[in-house]
Amino acid sequence: MSRQPKWLDNAVFYEIYPQSFNDTNADGIGDIPGIIEKLDYIRELGCNAIWMNPCFDSPFGDAGYDVADYYKVAPRYGTNEDLKRLFDEVHKRGMHILLDLVPGHTSVEHPWFKESMKAGRNAYTDRYVWTDNVWEEPEGFGSLRGISERDGSCVVNFFSNQPALNYGFYKPEKSWQQPMDSPGAVGTREALKDIMRFWLGMGCDGFRVDMAGSLVKQDEDSKGTILLWQNIREFLDAEFPDAAMVSEWGEPDKSLQGGFHMDFLLHFGPSHYNDLFRCEKPFFAGEGDVSAFVGKYIENYEKSEHKGLICIPSGNHDMDRLARTIHGDKQKIAFAFLMSMPGAPFIYYGDEIGMRYVEGLTSVEGGYSRTGSRTPMQWDRSTNAGFSTASKELLYIPQDESADRPTAQAQMADPDSLRSEVKKLIAVRQAHKALQSCGEIDFLYAEKNAYPLAYVRSMEEEKIMVILNPSDKEASFSCGLTPTETVYSIGGEITAEAGEITIPANSAGYYRI
Calpha distance 2→261 (Å, rounded): 7
Residues 370 and 507 in one domain: no
User: Given a cut of 60, is residue 44 above it in pLDDT?
Assistant: yes
Mean pLDDT of 248-258: 93
What is the layout of strands, in order, in the sheet containing 500-503? 475-478, 500-503, 495-497
Residues 87 and 21 in one domain: yes
Q: Choose the weakest-confidence range: 305-314, 390-399, 460-469.
A: 305-314
Calpha distance 201→212 (Å, rounded): 22
Listed in sequence order, the residues at least 6 apart from 78 whose beta carbon sits closer than 8 Å to its beta carbon are: 31, 32, 33
CATH code (residue 483): 2.60.40.1180
Q: What is the DSSP code string of 94-141?
A: T-EEEEEE--SB--TTSHHHHHHTSSS--TTTTSB-B-SSTT-PPTTS
| % of the chain exceeding 70 in pLDDT | 100
User: Given a cut of 70, is residue 37 above it in pLDDT?
Assistant: yes
Listed in sequence order, the residues at least 6 apart from 373 whose beta carbon sits closer than 8 Å to its beta carbon are: 315, 317, 318, 319, 320, 321, 348, 357
User: Given a cut of 70, is residue 2 above it in pLDDT?
Assistant: no
Name beta bridge partners: 507: 469
Residues 370 and 461 in one domain: no
Calpha distance 64→166 (Å, rounded): 20
Listed in sequence order, the residues at least 6 apart from 407 whose beta carbon sits closer than 8 Å to its beta carbon are: 353, 378, 379, 380, 381, 385, 386
164 DSSP 8-state letter: B
The amino acid present at 512, given as its one-letter code, is R
Calpha distance 469→504 (Å, rounded): 7
Could you tell me if residue 272 is inside a domain?
yes
Q: Choose the weakest-confidence range: 55-59, 65-69, 127-131, 266-270.
A: 266-270
What is the structure's pLDDT at 265? 78
Could you tell me if residue 117 is inside a domain?
yes
Furthest CA-CA distance within the chain: 80
As a whole number, the mean pLDDT across the chain is 96
Could you tell me if residue 178 is inside a domain?
no
The total number of structural domains that make up the chain: 3
Residues 88 and 119 in one domain: no
Interval 427-437: pLDDT, tens: 999 999 999 99
C-beta separation of 30 from 387 below 8 A: yes
Calpha distance 188→200 (Å, rounded): 19
Which range of residues forms the domain containing residue 322?
A: 6-103+185-429
Calpha distance 291→276 (Å, rounded): 10
Could you tell me if residue 436 is inside a domain?
no
User: Residue 10 class from Cβ within 10 Å (0-12 exposed, 13-18 middle, 19+ buried)?
Assistant: middle
User: Given a cut of 60, is residue 169 above it in pLDDT?
Assistant: yes
For 234, 243, 359, 414, 423, the CA distances from 196, given in Å and listed in that order, are: 13, 10, 38, 42, 33
What is the structure's pLDDT at 387? 98
CATH code (residue 17): 3.20.20.80
Residues 244 and 290 in one domain: yes
User: 323: left (phi > 0), else alpha (psi -120 to 50), else beta?
Assistant: alpha
Predicted confidence band of residue 303 (pLDDT cuts 50, 70, 90): confident
C-beta separation of 194 from 236 below 8 A: no
Calpha distance 505→62 (Å, rounded): 42
Could you tell me if residue 367 is inside a domain?
yes
Residues 417 and 445 in one domain: no
Calpha distance 388→391 (Å, rounded): 8
- Torsion angle of alpha carbons 355, 357, 361, 367, nearest 10°? 100
What is the structure's pLDDT at 53? 98
User: Given a cut of 80, is residue 230 above it in pLDDT?
Assistant: yes
CATH code (residue 122): 3.90.400.10
Predicted confidence band of residue 66 (pLDDT cuts 50, 70, 90): very high
Query: Is beta strand 56-57 parallel, antiparallel or unpaired with respect to 142-145?
Result: unpaired
What is the structure's pLDDT at 305? 84
C-beta separation of 235 from 193 below 8 A: yes
What is the structure's pLDDT at 3? 76
User: Given a cut of 70, is residue 1 above it in pLDDT?
Assistant: no
Residues 130 and 91 in one domain: no
User: N- to C-terminal Cα distance for the chain?
Assistant: 31
Interval 193-229: pLDDT, tens: 999 999 999 999 999 999 999 999 999 999 999 999 9
Whole-structure pTM value:
0.97
User: Given a cut of 90, is residue 304 above it in pLDDT?
Assistant: no
Could you tell me if residue 1 is inside a domain?
no
Residues 323 and 353 in one domain: yes
Residues 204 and 56 in one domain: yes
Q: Choose the weakest-confidence range: 134-138, 413-417, 473-477.
A: 134-138
The amino acid present at 211, given as its one-letter code, is M
Could you tell me if residue 434 is inside a domain?
no
C-beta separation of 153 from 143 below 8 A: yes
What is the structure's pLDDT at 498? 86
Mean pLDDT of 178-191: 98
What is the structure's pLDDT at 268? 77
Backbone angles phi, psi at 437, to 5 degrees: -55, -40
Residues 387 and 478 in one domain: no
What is the structure's pLDDT at 264? 87
C-beta separation of 258 from 226 below 8 A: yes
Residues 422 and 483 in one domain: no
Calpha distance 236→301 (Å, rounded): 25
What is the structure's pLDDT at 266? 79
Run of H or E residues at 489: strand 485-490
Residues 97 and 109 in one domain: no
Could you tell me if residue 58 is inside a domain?
yes
